[in-house]
Amino acid sequence: MVNRRSFLGGTAAFAAMGAWRAQAMEALGAVKMRFGALADIHIHSSEQMAVFEKALRKLDGWKADGVLVSGDIAHFGLAMQLQNTADVWFKVFPGGRRSDGEPVVNLMHYGDHDMATNYVDRPEAAALWPDAEMRRKNLIFTGDRKAIWERCFKEEWHPIELKYVKGYPFILYHFTKGEPGNSHGNASPGLAEFLKEHTFDPSKPVFYSQHRLLLGTVCGAGSHGRDNGESAALLSKIPNAIAFCGHGHICGFFEKNIWQGAFTCIETPSLRYCCTPGGRENGYNTGDRPPRPPVQMMPQHPSHLTHQGFFCTVHENGMVVRRWEFEHDIPLGPDWIVPFSSFRLPPEQRPFSFAARARTERAPVFPQGARITLAATEGKDRLGKKHGMYAVKFPAAPATSTTPRANDYEVSLELQQDDLERILLQKRVFSPRYLYGAAMDTLPVECLFAEEEVPERHLLRFVVRPVNAFGGKGEPLATAWRMMSLKSISKEQQQEDKKAKDKS
């Protein structure tokens, strides 16, 4: 049985993410505050303004006391785009109040797009505002960023803001590229001094937000899109800190979007378009783009068809993070529950540390009776070259009551020769609706191998394993060992089609 004492003292149980959920929710205690967490809203046109309005109205219906936007507000870095954002904000929250009359706090701050100068002459910007001189005069970076913000949002602006929402502090760090000590925008000048000047209640969370990903925290240890590590070093001295960041656009389903170490960090997905983690055959990631992508045989995911964010409910004893897909109005996956008692645990024992989750996260499983089918097809790689293709098809591995939905799939081409069995080629692939979360992930998965990648006149087989976000692999599916060619696969397809036609 979970009671308040066991909740506060035994938070390791939260890592299991299983039958405890209903009891854990009860143990969270009374609701104290609610806020929406958005990022990378990239207001650039009336279409994206409509997306932003839809999200704000959803948050209004959920009675958000504040709305956080972790940077990248004005897509081309133009003051008129910031004004468009403010117009939508005050349309939904006139006078800074929800539809029920209660106040809602603006927790937005600048990101790197807001300080950009290299987007102003792009064709899409010129199509919206043909007057080039007018566009350049509207750049926030070369204008007065303080005056522009105050004119649009009707509030004072400071490089580092401290706002309170129902007694909970939010430290908002504006992207300060071009400020002294921050020529590239990856440093955090002034944050150390700011933190020394303020004291915070250690029994309550301290919320912090910046645009760039905090080095060494969410989404793995890579350096792309991350700051220089100053922010994480400072927040490591505040165990009750919960940091939010944007910039990566990584979809909200990815379980490494939440991290715990010496503090807690959450990457918020983009409200405009979402990316996948890199290195998968059909992912959408800047590192996988031409001219020299490491993966080539499958097209990228359609990233602009999903708009995502989070809704956070702060209770007396913990916080619940609801992950939401605003375009289809559906959850992305199970809520994250962050117990505040975890702040007192050693970093490696906190329930959302990557090491703890690698130990406790169960491997995904294929549904009963699942099998691999092979088909012959044709397609173009990412560089536009045509290939004959082997299509390796299999069912998605959905979430069950005890196992998570697969994050992606490991597909291996294996060789059997004399006394040796070995992997010839291995790929990772996402399901076709990966970006939309668990509710829509029902379509079969496909991984393509070019004809030249599969040697003829050898015993081969394909093996597929579902993989969770921390590398845990479920039981595999495998084809029989056989010699194969596109011609033989195509002939088998024709025979199967004839049988199906005769049967019908």
Domains with residue ranges and CATH for the chain: 31-283+301-360 (3.60.21.10), 373-503 (2.60.40)
Q: What is the pLDDT of residues 176-222, one digit of tens each?
A: 877 777 777 788 999 999 999 999 999 999 999 999 999 999 986 45
Cβ neighbours around 124 below 10 Å, total: 11
Contact 397, 406 (CB under 8 A): yes
Q: What is the pLDDT of residues 25-55, one digit of tens each?
A: 778 999 999 999 999 999 999 999 999 999 9
Residue 361 DSSP symbol: P
Expressed in angstroms, the distance from the first to the final Cα of the chain is 56
Q: What is the pLDDT of residues 382-433, one digit of tens each?
A: 888 999 999 999 999 999 989 999 999 999 999 999 999 999 999 999 999 9
Strand 264-267 vs strand 258-260: parallel, antiparallel, or unpaired? Answer: antiparallel
Average pLDDT, the chain: 91
Question: Could you give the count of Cα atoms lying within 13 Å of 213 in the half-sphere of its Cβ?
Answer: 23
Q: What is the pLDDT of residues 445-471, one digit of tens each?
A: 999 999 999 999 999 999 999 999 999
Q: What is the pLDDT of residues 3-16, one digit of tens each?
A: 344 333 333 333 34
Residue 259 CB burial class (10 angstroms; 0-12, 13-18, ≥19): buried
- The first and second tokens of residue 354, run together, are 């990557």
Q: Determine phi and psi for 272, rounding to 5 degrees.
A: -95, -55
pLDDT value at 18 more than 50? no
pLDDT value at 493 more than 90? no
pLDDT value at 22 more than 70? no
Instruction: Indicate the range of 137-146, 165-174, 291-300 predicted with least confidence.
Output: 291-300
* pTM of the entire predicted model: 0.93
C-alpha to C-alpha distance for 290 and 382, rounded to whole angstroms: 7
Instruction: Give the residue, 431 or 497, on which the prediction is more confident.
Output: 431
Closest CA to 343 of 419, 261, 414, 247: 261
